[in-house]
Every structure is written in C-alpha cells, then in structure tokens.
Amino acid sequence: MAGDDAPRDAESGQKGAGANDIPPLEWAVAMLGAGLVIATLGYLLLLGIGHGQSPPDLQITVQAYTAVESGYLIEFEVFNRGYQPAAQVTVQGSLRAGDIEIETSETTLDYVPSQSWRGGGLYFANDPRSYTLVLRPLGYQRP
C-alpha cells in the first residue's frame, strides 16, 4: 500500500498544498457537515448532562369538542414535561357529576417523547358539557 502511494505523494509534494484542489463549493459543504456534526454532538452532550433523567411528566389539555355519530368526541393533547420518553401512555377521561362517575373512556398513545406533544381523542356517549370532564394519564411503559 505504501509502495503504491509513494509516487503520488511525491507528486502532491511537488505542487504544494493539496487544499488548492478542493473547489470552494466543496469546502463550503464540508464546513456545513463539520458544523452539523459539532452542533449535533454539542446538543446531545447538553441533553445528556443537562436535565438529567426526570421521569415522564404528562400534562393533558382538551383541544376540541365535537358532536359525532357515536356520541361526543373530546380531542386532547398530551405534553411530556419530563426528560424521559414514555411509551404506551394510557389516557383516561371520566365524566363526573359531583362524586359520581357517569362514564369513563380511555385510549393509548404509542409514544410521548420528552418535551413533545402527542394527540388523541376520546369518545363519550354522554355529553361532556353536561358534566365535569377529568383527563388523566394512567400509566406508561419505558421504551
């Protein structure tokens, strides 16, 4: 291998810096690549040492209310305030009249990554507007 390269080395030595051969556009793209690598690594490093491992902390907000064919639909969004992702997140919605639970409905979201939103919907037979609607996460799996 060394023997194979030797004459070329001599050639490149003759013409001086090999940098002259690299077109400006190539330099620019290479710099972009180097920048992306450094930025990605830096960002990941910050994530790794920064917020630590705070567990999934799920906050559910109602987005929309719609009367549909099968009853009433409540669309919601889940925001994971923690810094660990949650898989198979079960969300339960219940309609209450005072202390009495009128109806419950639940669904499962595949993933709610850290600091991200995911959405879903729950169907109810009774009109949620006539009762108190409580949405809460029941549990998750560690991915």
Partner 1 sequence: MPAEKPATAEAGDTDAERSPNREFAIGLARAFAGAVIFALPLLMTMEMWAFGFTLAPYRLMVFIVLTIPLLVGMAHFLGFEPTFDAQEDVVDAFVAYAVAFIAAAFVLLLLGVIQPGMSGREIVGKIALQAIPGAIGALLAQSQLGMENEEQKSRERNAGYFGELFFMAVGALFFAFNLAPTEEIILTAFHLSGLSALVLALVSLVIMHAFVYAVNFSGQASIPADKPAWLVFLRYTVVGYALVLLISLFVLWAFGRTENNSLYENALSVVVLGLPGAIGAAAARLIL
Question: Where on the chain is the footprint of partner 1 (CB under 8 A)?
Answer: 1, 4-5, 8-9, 11-12, 15, 18-27, 29-34, 36-37, 40-41, 43-45, 47-48, 85, 87, 111, 113-117, 143
Q: Cβ closer to partner 1: 48 or 98?
A: 48
How far is the CA of 128 from the CAs of 11, 61, 75, 87, 108, in angstroms? Answer: 81, 14, 12, 28, 20
Tell me how far apart the alpha carbons of residues 108 and 139 are, in angstroms, rounded to a whole number: 10
Distances in whole angstroms, Cα of residue 107 to Cα of each of 75, 92, 125, 126: 11, 7, 15, 17
CB of 98 to partner 1, least distance (A): 36
Question: Which residue, 95 or 109, has its beta carbon nearer to partner 1?
Answer: 109
In terms of CB distance, is 34 or 134 closer to partner 1?
34
Q: CB nearer to partner 1: give 10 or 100.
A: 10
- How far lies 110's CA from each of 16, 49, 53, 107, 117, in Å? 58, 27, 20, 10, 12
Question: Least distance in Å: CB of 68 to partner 1?
Answer: 24
Smallest gap from residue 32 Cβ to partner 1 (A) = 4
Cα 76 off chain centre by: 17
Alpha helices (H) in the chain, listed in sequence order: 2-15, 24-49
Q: Minimum Å distance from CB 71 to partner 1?
A: 27
